[in-house]
Amino acid sequence: MSLTSYKTLGKSGLRVSPLCLGTMTFGEDWGWGASAQESEKMIHAYTERGGNFIDTANIYTNNHSEKIIGDVLGKSSSLRTRMVVATKFANNVFPGNPNTGGTGNKSLITNLEHSLRRLQTDYIDVYWIHSWDFLTPMEETMRSLDNAVKSGKILYIGISDAPAWKIAQANTAAMLNDWTPFIGLQIEYSLLQRTVEDELVPMALELGLGITPWSPLKGGLLSGKYNRANNGKVGGGLQARNGDMILTEKQLAIIDELERVVEVHETTPAAIALSWVNNKSGVTSTIIGVRTLKQLEDNIAATDIHLSADEIASLDKLSSPPLTFLSEYKDLIPVMQHGGIEINGFKPAAAPIMADIQPGKY
C-alpha cells in the first residue's frame, strides 16, 4: 500500500489517499505549530508522494491553517483540481457572536463563505460538522447542508464527534427527504482510544460512512517519544500543553509492544500505530498531524508496513477497551438466542441458566 492506494470515501465516488494530511499544526498561532513555510513544504512533500486528501477546520490556529492551505492551492489550479480539500464548521471563530457557532443555517452560510475565501477556492470537497449542535434542530442542519451542496459550494458532507444515534437519525432524515447524506465519520481512534468500537464504528459500517480517524497517535503518546523509561516526562507539544503525565500500566504495556514490533519491521512506533488503525474495519483514511517534514516521512512509512495476524492480535488484546453495558451484554446475546446451535460458523456454549429447560415443559 502507498499514498496512491486510493479508497472511495464511504458510499461515494470520491477517491482519497489512505493517509490524510491533517493541518491543525499548520501555523504557529497556538504556540506549537509549524511555520507557514514549513507547512507549505509538507503539503508539497505529501502531494509529490501521491497524497490527495487534506483536512483542516475554520478554527485551526485561529483561521491561519485554512489561509496557509489557500495560499498554496491558490498558486496552482492543477493542484487544487487534484486535491480533496476538507474543512469543518460549528466551532465559533467570531467571539461574542451567537450565530457564528453551532450548525444553524446562518452559522453554516457565514462560516462556509469565510472558509471559501481563506482557502481561495469556489467549493469545498468535504464539509464536516466539527461537533454536533444539540441546540439546532437536526432537520435545519441537514437541509442547510443540502442547500449548500445544491449550490455547488460543497460536494460532500461528513460528521465528526457526535453520538451514533444522532448521526443515524440525521442520515435517515436525509434519505427520507432526498437530502444529501453524510459519507464520512471523523472520530478519535487509536490503540489508546478504542471505545468508538462500541457503537460508532458499527454504525459507520452499517450506514456506509468512511471512517477517518483523528489523533491516531493519541496526541503523540504513540509516537515513540514516550516510553517506560521516561514515563511521559518529556518536553514537547503534548507535555507543553498538558504538563508531565504519569502513563498507566496499560498504556506502557501497549508502548512496550509497539517497541517490540518496531524491531521486527525496522521502523518507528508511529508507523506501527498508524498501520494498526489504518487497517481496522471501516477505516478509509487516517488523519496524520505533523509539524515537520521528518514526522511526515515517518508517518507515510506506515503505508509500507504489513502487520502479521499475531502482531495485530497482540496489539488488539493489550489495547482492548473497557466493556460498556452494550459490549458486555452483546457477548451474552448469542448464548441466549442460539441455544448452543452453530449459526454462521459460531457455536456458543449453552447458557447455564437454560440447562434444565425441557421443550414443551410449560
DSSP per-residue codes, 75-144? T-HHHHHH-EEEEEE-S--STT-TTSSSSSHHHHHHHHHHHHHHHT-S-EEEEEESS--TTS-HHHHHHH
Q: Is residue 24 part of a domain?
A: yes
Q: What is the pLDDT of residue 197?
A: 96
Is 206 a residue whose pLDDT tops 70? yes
Q: What is the pLDDT of residue 241?
A: 41
Is 350 a residue whose pLDDT tops 90? no
| 273 and 362, same domain (yes or no) | no
| 183 and 104, same domain (yes or no) | yes
Q: What is the pLDDT of residue 238?
A: 46
Q: What is the pLDDT of residue 234?
A: 59
Where is mean pLDDT largest: 136-150, 220-234, 330-344? Answer: 136-150
Angle in degrees, CA 246, 250, 251, rounded to 5: 55
And the C-alpha cell for 287? 488523519
How many other C-beta atoms can be found within 10 angstroms of the C-beta atom of residue 25?
A: 23
96 versus 333: the higher-pLDDT residue is: 96
Question: How many domains does one find in the chain?
Answer: 2
Biggest CA–CA distance in the chain, Å, is: 80
pLDDT class of 119 with cuts at 50, 70, 90: very high
Residue 226 is a catalytic residue: no
Q: Is residue 230 part of a domain?
A: yes
41 versus 332: the higher-pLDDT residue is: 41
Q: Can you tell me whether residue 214 is helix, strand or coil? A: strand
| 349 and 311, same domain (yes or no) | no
| 68 and 139, same domain (yes or no) | yes
Q: Is residue 1 part of a domain?
A: no
At residue 103, what is the residue type?
A: T
| 260 and 149, same domain (yes or no) | yes
pLDDT class of 239 with cuts at 50, 70, 90: very low
Q: What is the pLDDT of residue 236?
A: 46
pLDDT class of 237 with cuts at 50, 70, 90: very low
Distance CA 42, CA 357 (A): 66
Q: What is the pLDDT of residue 233?
A: 65
Cβ atoms 9, 284 nearer than 8 A: yes
Rounded to an integer, the average pLDDT of 279-299 is 96
Is 243 a residue whose pLDDT tops 60? no
Q: Is residue 307 part of a domain?
A: yes
| 266 and 233, same domain (yes or no) | yes
Q: Is residue 275 part of a domain?
A: yes
| 187 and 62, same domain (yes or no) | yes
Q: Is residue 73 part of a domain?
A: yes
Q: What is the pLDDT of residue 269?
A: 95
Is 231 a residue whose pLDDT tops 80? no
- CB-count burial class (<10 Å; 0-12, 13-18, 19+) for 206: exposed
| 155 and 233, same domain (yes or no) | yes
Q: What is the pLDDT of residue 242?
A: 44
**CATH number where 38 lies:** 3.20.20.100
Is 13 a residue whose pLDDT tops 70? yes
Question: In the block, which residue shows the cell 459519507?
Answer: 183
| 277 and 343, same domain (yes or no) | no
Cβ atoms 174, 181 nearer than 8 A: yes
* pLDDT above 70 coverage of the chain, percent: 92
And the C-alpha cell for 335? 448464548
Q: What is the pLDDT of residue 172?
A: 98
For the full predicted model, state whether its pTM sits above 0.85: yes
| 213 and 345, same domain (yes or no) | no
pLDDT class of 240 with cuts at 50, 70, 90: very low
* pLDDT above 90 coverage of the chain, percent: 82
And the C-alpha cell for 256? 512496550
Q: What is the pLDDT of residue 354?
A: 52
Q: Which among 6, 46, 60, 226 is annotated as catalytic?
A: 60
Is 278 a residue whose pLDDT tops 80? yes
Q: Is residue 127 part of a domain?
A: yes
Q: What is the pLDDT of residue 357?
A: 54
Distance CA 61, CA 26 (A): 7
- CB-count burial class (<10 Å; 0-12, 13-18, 19+) for 177: exposed
| 345 and 266, same domain (yes or no) | no
347 versus 215: the higher-pLDDT residue is: 215
22: containing domain: 7-326
pLDDT class of 143 with cuts at 50, 70, 90: very high
Query: Which of 66, 121, 117 lies closest to 91 in space, CA to CA?
Result: 66
How many other C-beta atoms can be found within 10 angstroms of the C-beta atom of residue 139?
A: 14
Query: Chain centroid to CA 284: how far?
Result: 9
241 versus 203: the higher-pLDDT residue is: 203
| 337 and 320, same domain (yes or no) | no
Q: What is the pLDDT of residue 196?
A: 97
- CB-count burial class (<10 Å; 0-12, 13-18, 19+) for 151: exposed
Is 212 a residue whose pLDDT tops 50? yes
DSSP 10: S
Is 265 a residue whose pLDDT tops 80? yes
Q: Is residue 2 part of a domain?
A: no
